[in-house]
Structure 1
């Protein structure tokens, strides 16, 4: 089971790096500083691998306790914001479109398969000096998940994408996160990051259900909890310009137990309207004719590339793109 979790964790990190990794243009890092950062990156890479693959909880936590001060030390290097740290593949590093900051996030697994998350927001500064907001995971103590928090009371997770929107001359950053959670379930979430008085604010009344058949109140954070070995997508579809995610049902007819939730291959979503992510109850409205049943297309093994396995996000993205578009009647 642990091997499966590690594979899933690293696959998601790989997708996050490919989708949102970028080289930020800015002041050139001095040659001596670049050499120092490269050496520090080697040490950080070694420790980050131990955080993920350490033999037991003590080894993983010990590696994490060494990793954090070394990372801060490296970030204190002038203009470190422009150093990508792209060799540290077990830590997610995400940038928004405007590259005004970046977020480091990672998790440490305990022996009971619970995860505690760590992170930091590094701001881009004009003088190249470090401005850092450490993130303290308080998710175990947050009784109401639909609440607005700050960096000292962070709903811990590993971020894998950032979508930026602007409304009334203010920037809002939608964060997509994943939480391995516990032995029974895992979670994916979206929440808004904004800055007030130059400090980060997580969450806010940005998820609207006003257009639902039965309208519901605004929510500050959207969370999908589902079966531990389930495959569920929560992503931004650029072609459709909307957030799309799997509709979930209980496979055991126990709607109060998220650990039984799986995808039913239907999709819901959110569309950005008037400064809110407005809920779309059903993304596609194509239905099968009465008495007809879906038939899977035979797998062509000649075209299957086993050297490039696909994640749930990629598979669902392809499924969405293959959906037939409805033509308007003439």
Structure 2
């Protein structure tokens, strides 16, 4: 009996090693496609490479124990973030079109050792642009407000646990966005939109997501400060009185607002006095047009 158990363990380790080796070979091909969909000079080639990437990536994720594989060779092309509780991880990336606009792609992989549990994220930005209620809308994974997620903050130990996602979103040739998104699970399926973020102008009015628009000529800080247990971000203002309301041209004014956690929600804090100013080097995607060497997305370390 003991010999049988040893044989089973050895077989399982062999199969696991085979799967990891196969994923590694697939990763080499994915890296080539990633280089193409971020750097090729022809839009049609970038689009085709991206769809080839998606097909091969899904095939790779179907391999046994894929959740444990880091895909470290792909982090120059896609953002891969795992929740601290090891429940899931997100894959997000974009392709840029010749007119300066962006298309976003992504997926959420659940940590399921028995089978691939993958939820594709379908970019619905174009339809949501005209929504008057974006801040309060519950979105399914096929209605996703596309973004590149660079951090996941779990909010656990409460009756209805959820996650805060920090995102970057290139918009067009003149503006970007930063996003605070909320994610929860309904019967095991991911859903975007928990009303836990207080409105900066209306106390006790809580939203599902907050979108900050700002000029491409500036960088905006948005991050979680672990030591102080706060979410902090640059306060954005118009460059002149004539441009008030034109948020795509807003920029930081060297003051900071934020959110403090209280009773399961995040309460708005204006003009925060920070003891230790967070570093500007967030783990985030920078607008490719600012990378003078090539057009691929860049991650700051």
Q: Does 1:136 align with 2:122?
A: yes
Count residues with an aligned counterpart: 262
Q: Which residue of 2 aligns with 1:161?
A: 151
1:33-48 alignment runs, 5 A limit: 33-48=19-34
Deviation string for 1:51-70 (max 9, x for gaps)?
Answer: 11121211110110100010
Change (3 A) 1:39 1:258: same
Distance of 2:282 and 2:113 partners within structure 1: 36
Q: Which residue of 1 aligns with 2:218?
A: 230
Distance of 1:141 and 1:284 partners within structure 2: 38
Change (3 A) 1:52 1:251: same
Q: Which segment drifts farther, 135-144 or 153-162?
A: 135-144
What's the RMSD between the two structures over aligned residues?
1.9
Change (3 A) 1:71 1:266: same
Q: Which residue of 2 aligns with 1:244?
A: 232
Distance of 2:127 and 2:86 partners within structure 1: 32
Q: Following TM superposition, by how much is the alpha carbon of 1:217 offset from its aligned partner in structure 2, in angstroms?
A: 2.2
Q: Does 1:204 align with 2:194?
A: yes
State which of 101, 104, 108 in structure 2 corresponds to 1:117: 104
- What secondary structure does 2:73 align onto? coil
Q: Following TM superposition, by how much is the alpha carbon of 1:171 offset from its aligned partner in structure 2, in angstroms?
A: 2.6
Deviation string for 1:207-257 (max 9, x for gaps)?
Answer: 124xx6852622111111000121110101111111000001111321210
State which of 263, 277, 294 in structure 2 corresponds to 1:274: 263
User: Post-superposition, which runs of at least 4 consecutive aligned residues in structure 1 deviate over 6 A?
Assistant: none
State which of 47, 64, 78 in structure 2 corresponds to 1:91: 78
Q: Which residue of 2 aligns with 1:298?
A: none
Where structure 1 has 5 or more consecutive residues not aligned to the other structure, the ranges are 1-26, 287-309, 315-330
- What secondary structure does 1:141 align onto? helix
Q: Following TM superposition, by how much is the alpha carbon of 1:169 offset from its aligned partner in structure 2, in angstroms?
A: 4.0
Q: Following TM superposition, by how much is the alpha carbon of 1:285 offset from its aligned partner in structure 2, in angstroms?
A: 8.4
Q: Following TM superposition, by how much is the alpha carbon of 1:153 offset from its aligned partner in structure 2, in angstroms?
A: 0.3
State which of 74, 83, 87 in structure 2 corresponds to 1:100: 87
Q: Following TM superposition, by how much is the alpha carbon of 1:33 offset from its aligned partner in structure 2, in angstroms?
A: 1.0
Q: Following TM superposition, by how much is the alpha carbon of 1:42 offset from its aligned partner in structure 2, in angstroms?
A: 0.5
1:1-330 alignment runs, 5 A limit: 30-89=16-75, 90-127=77-114, 129-142=115-128, 143=131, 144-146=133-135, 147-209=137-199, 215=203, 217-253=205-241, 254-284=243-273, 312-313=281-282
- What secondary structure does 1:244 align onto? strand
